[in-house]
Amino acid sequence: MNPGDFVLCVRNVAGGKFGSEPGPTTFLVVPPGKDPSPRHAIAKDDWAARVQRQAKPPAAAAADAHGDILVFIHGYNNDQEIVMKRHRRLRADLEALGFAGAVVSFDWPSAAQALNYLEDRSDAKTTALELVDKGIRLLAARQDLDCRMNVHLLAHSTGAYVIREAFDDADDRRSIAAVNWTVSQIAFIGGDVSSASMSPTDSASESVYRHCARLTNYWNPYDSVLKLSNMKRLGTAPRVGRVGLPGDAPGKAVDVDCGDYFRTLDESEAVHFGSFPHSWHIGDPVFTQDLLSTIRGDIDRERIPTRRLDERGELHLVRPR
């Protein structure tokens, strides 16, 4: 039975509907085929318990098995309809490959207009802390000895900025910093933060690296949304989703070059939601397989079947043999 789709929403409510401005945090279980509505809100503890039940490994699993919760953080210029399309496709594709965990979307206020980029980025900063305080921290606090849970994050576009701001802000809050919270895997797709800002010498990124086991950056040199001509809108420096991580990135950070693989794709045949060069990942079977291998962590990062290690020691996304 489909338990519904789990959403942590930080949008305002106006006229009985969610808007595109920051608002109080609501915990949603969205029925299949529906877009999020304030009517789908349930109590925080009930929501966390349902997520945990969905993520709990089956009774027949090995004694040392753990549950997995994947939190998807969308980018700018996303209305709730496209957020749910991505959420449901991601969940369906992962489950088809054997993923038995829970998928949660962190839905921050983002308008459905590209011109709202700067406002969206401001809203992302305003609401980012809720990702840690009401999401990661809540789920981590419910762990028990009988059911260990790994929380993973997948950030698309400006979602990478949300994570950086959330982790940095959390470290500045004494009540949160005093709690031993962490996540297992973080993955960026089309990451809309500057490459240089992902240096461990940057205070915000230092917080990200400190609170995760590994960060995987899937980058694509053909991502036209992140091209230099857009830097006036995106920022003043090349983005991590287009040029990769900086040279001083720590050992727990992994770059996966998706450029050659992306060039083999036919946009007319591919499943995607939004600009194809920037949003091809969700709906792509090779990326989904690579992401699941990353979440599971059973295979060394250089031996994942959907990756090729070149003579320079760089990893490339490839179709498995």
- The pLDDT confidence band at residue 115, using thresholds 50, 70 and 90, is very low
> What is the pLDDT at residue 46?
95
- The pLDDT confidence band at residue 230, using thresholds 50, 70 and 90, is low
Residue 304 belongs to what domain range? 5-57+65-317
Q: What is the pLDDT of residues 130-170, one digit of tens each?
A: 888 888 888 877 665 455 789 999 999 989 999 998 898 88
Let me know if 50 is exposed, middle or buried by CB neighbors in 10 A (0-12, 13-18, 19+).
Answer: middle
CA–CA separation, 131 and 243 (whole Å): 27
Q: How far is CA 276 from the centre of its chain?
A: 18
CA–CA separation, 80 and 180 (whole Å): 32
Q: What is the pLDDT of residues 34-91, one digit of tens each?
A: 999 999 999 999 999 999 999 987 665 565 668 899 999 998 888 899 999 999 999 9
For the cut 50, the answer to whether the pLDDT of residue 94 exceeds it is yes
CA–CA separation, 70 and 184 (whole Å): 10
Q: What percent of the chain has pLDDT over 70?
A: 87
**CA-wise closest residue to 159 among 138, 128, 181:** 128
The phi and psi torsions of 52 (rounded to 5 degrees) equal -65, -40
182 backbone φψ class: left, alpha, beta (φ>0; ψ -120 to 50): beta
Q: What is the pLDDT of residues 231-262, one digit of tens each?
A: 555 556 899 999 999 999 999 999 999 999 99
State the Rg of the chain over Cα. Answer: 18
Q: What is the mean pLDDT of the chain?
A: 88
Q: What percent of the chain has pLDDT over 90?
A: 65
> What is the pLDDT at residue 145?
46
CA–CA separation, 315 and 313 (whole Å): 7
pTM of the full structure: 0.93
**CA-wise closest residue to 116 among 76, 148, 86:** 76
CA–CA separation, 12 and 109 (whole Å): 8
Structural domains in the chain (count): 1
> What is the pLDDT at residue 56?
82
Taking a C-beta distance cutoff of 8 angstroms, is the pair 36, 18 a contact?
Answer: yes
Q: What is the CATH number of the domain that holds 174?
A: 3.40.50
